[in-house]
Amino acid sequence: MKIGISHIGIYVPEKIITNDDLSKMVDTNDEWIFSRTGIKQRHIARKDETTTDMAIASVKDLITKSNINIQDVDFIICSTVTNEQQFPSVAALVQKELKIPNIPCFDVGPACAGFVYLLAIAESFIKSGLAKKVLCICSEKFSDLVDWTDRNTCILFGDASTAFIVEENPETCTILNTIIGGDGTYSDSLQTIKQESGEHFVQMEGTTVFKSAVRIMDEQVRTVCEKSNKSLEEVDLLIPHQANARIMTSVADRLGIKAYMNVQNYGNTSSATIPLALFDAMKEGVITKGDLVVSPALGGGFTWGATLLQF
């Protein structure tokens, strides 16, 4: 049974905040930000634009770019940690907009590892017979969780949404293997903290996250390749979670695999980064037919995982 991804739809908000723009808001500058993160700009949603709005926009882009009949979808899963309300889920609101009732729908919240988790869940449902065509969405409005007076975190994040179909006999790529994991003992290292105002802002222990991300993503790539009976030398491209260029470069150097990065254009869009990078890499011709692509991720929790894809 060949299961994988058929097409990817994307949505990024029109508003762009550059590093120079941030230098007018906090004590920072373009050189300081770029040298530490590789980020040049990030897309930021309007105040009245929700995670669900972005999710719907990415699904509509998916429909426009493909020959998929959205009425054939029999399961909807969304990865997000920025739902505008506790419930209903973003998946349920997308289902309402698409007018495809009476199918299962729910959200998951592995944060930056969301894409890998969605693949694992969707593939399992298809193999078990619970689903045939799963609509997966990664939609994040991290600008709502950023303290725009904190130069250590406000420089990192952006907003985006991606949507893709997981099914048998996929048109884009086949999933060779996916592994996921996590360890809640790291929960204090990357979390949201409730302020006196009632708002929740991202708080991160940068050094711990950096070292853990490099080590864990390296381990996940090696493990998923081993489980797939593939050597590192056979892998054509590394497309990791796009959090920080220094993290990605460190992982690529340890593995000896060329890495693709688009973090400079979007910042860290949490669960949306990998499918957004896959989309851009395909559009730019960086990924070609037959390529083996490995994508590891680490997110708050910690959550982690990796997937090996055959294009």
Q: pLDDT tens digit string along 281-303? A: 999 999 999 999 999 999 999 99
3-171 and 174-310, same CATH topology: yes
For residue 67, the number of C-alpha atoms closer than 13 Å in the C-beta half-sphere is: 3
Q: Which of 173, 275, 179, 171 is nearest to 223 (CA)?
A: 179
Residues 6+ apart with CB under 8 A from 184: 301, 302
Query: What is the pLDDT, as a whole number, of residue 197?
Result: 73
- Burial (Cβ within 10 Å: 0-12, 13-18, ≥19) of residue 194: exposed
Look-up of token digits 């693709």:
260
Task: Note the pLDDT tens digit of each residue in 255-280.
Answer: 999 999 999 999 999 999 999 999 99
Q: What is the mean predicted confidence (pLDDT) over 131-156?
A: 94
Q: How confident is the model at residue 67 (pLDDT cuts 50, 70, 90)?
A: confident
Catalytic residue annotation: 112, 241, 268
- Burial (Cβ within 10 Å: 0-12, 13-18, ≥19) of residue 12: buried
Q: How confident is the model at residue 78 (pLDDT cuts 50, 70, 90)?
A: very high
Q: What is the mean predicted confidence (pLDDT) over 222-228?
A: 98
How far is the C-alpha of 190 from the C-alpha of 37, rounded, in Å? 17
Q: How confident is the model at residue 49 (pLDDT cuts 50, 70, 90)?
A: very high
Query: What is the pLDDT, as a whole number, of residue 201?
Result: 82
Phi, psi of 50 (to 5 degrees): -100, 170
* Token reading at 161: 């949404």
How far is the C-alpha of 232 from the C-alpha of 299, rounded, in Å? 23
Q: How confident is the model at residue 77 (pLDDT cuts 50, 70, 90)?
A: very high
Work out the angle at residue 4's Cα, subtended by the Cα atoms of residues 53 and 2, and round it to the nearest 5 degrees. Answer: 155
DSSP 8-state code for residue 141: E
Q: 0.75 exceeded by the pTM?
A: yes
Show me where the domains of the chain are located.
3-171, 174-310
138, β-bridge pairs: 79, 162
Lowest-pLDDT range, 22-31, 77-86, 102-111, 199-208? Answer: 199-208
According to CATH, the topology of domain 174-310 is Peroxisomal Thiolase; Chain A, domain 1 (3.40.47)
Query: What is the pLDDT, as a whole number, of residue 128?
Result: 97
Query: What is the pLDDT, as a whole number, of residue 174?
Result: 98
* Percentage of the chain lying above the pLDDT 90 cut: 90
How far is the C-alpha of 239 from the C-alpha of 277, rounded, in Å? 7
The CATH number of domain 3-171, selected from 3.40.47.10, 3.40.50.720, 3.30.70.1710, 1.20.58.60: 3.40.47.10
Query: What is the pLDDT, as a whole number, of residue 193?
Result: 80
DSSP 8-state code for residue 181: E
Task: Note the pLDDT tens digit of each residue in 111-140.
Answer: 999 999 999 999 999 999 999 999 999 999
**Does residue 273 contact residue 111 with C-beta atoms inside 8 Å?**
no
